[in-house]
Amino acid sequence: MTRHLVIELCGRLADYAPQQINLDIPQAGISVAHLKARIAHDYPALATELQRPGVRLCVDETIVTDAHIVKVGATVAIFPIVSGG
Amino acid sequence: MSQDVVILAQDAIDPAATLNDFIAHCTDSDGAIVHFIGLARGTNHQGHPVSALVLEHYRGVTLASMQNIAAAARERFTLSQLMIVHRTGAIMPQEPIVLVAAASAHRRAAFEAADYMMDRLKTEAVFWKYELHPGSTIKHWIEPTSRDTDDSQRWQKD
């Protein structure tokens, strides 16, 4: 059974896909590494950008590693490298 | 009683009013105040006219990144108070982007704290910014320069 996840694209990433993209993920959740692979598959224009240095995933306002499991209902965003202030 | 101020500002910064408020909170032990104001330029490094600088932030993460930098400055330098006020949104040329201030008993700590906070804000604060050029809607995204990175890393050698 899958559930719906909304992912916000920050900064320049939103130039390559809608600012909010939607994915169906397993009820048990999905690792960040798999999530990025799914996004690259469903949105090919993002694939190269997702591999650039400094790309990070933010889940519930916390930066997480590739091993983190994203659960249904989480607030998810993808950060490209920050511009700084 | 002095307290540190960290603000993510949606509206234009009034430098005079902001600094006056900071000064009003100084104590009779303070012998030095250092402040820095970063302005949006009307011409970029390549000489192109810039009609606006736009900063994007993300929820509470951006403010938290600024607060972390303020806390690190508080830990590293002997200060009575500090301030970081940083804009988000569209900023016109010559408008303030950021104001940092530090107060201490002696000038060295105040100078270094202001320098430290700016170096870290330039590379670590969670903003994404782009330039708009006259007559165009194309976003020219900005990434930290090697100079910004070097400036921030020099504080790690101490």
Please report, in tens digits, the pLDDT of each residue of chain A (85 residues total): 768 899 999 999 999 999 999 999 999 999 999 999 999 999 999 999 999 988 999 999 999 999 999 999 999 999 999 998 8
Check: CB of residue B97 under 8 Å from CB of residue B40.
Answer: yes
Q: Are A61 and B123 in contact (CB < 8 Å)?
A: no
The predicted structure's pLDDT at residue B141: 95
Q: Kindly tell me if the per-residue pLDDT of B1 is higher than 50.
A: no
- Three-state DSSP class for residue B138: coil
Q: Which of B58, B86, B139 sits opposite A85 (nearest CB)?
A: B86
Check: CB of residue B98 under 8 Å from CB of residue B86.
Answer: yes
Neighbours of B146 (CB within 10 A): 7
Q: Are A80 and B128 in contact (CB < 8 Å)?
A: yes
Q: Are B129 and A15 in contact (CB < 8 Å)?
A: no
Q: Give the C-alpha separation, A41 to B35, whole Å.
A: 48
Q: What is the ipTM of this complex?
A: 0.92
Lowest mean pLDDT of A13-17, B85-89, B152-156, name the range.
B152-156
Interface of A with B in 14-53 (CB under 8 A): 15
The predicted structure's pLDDT at residue B157: 60
B71-86: average pLDDT: 97
Q: Give the C-alpha separation, B39 to A3, whole Å.
A: 46
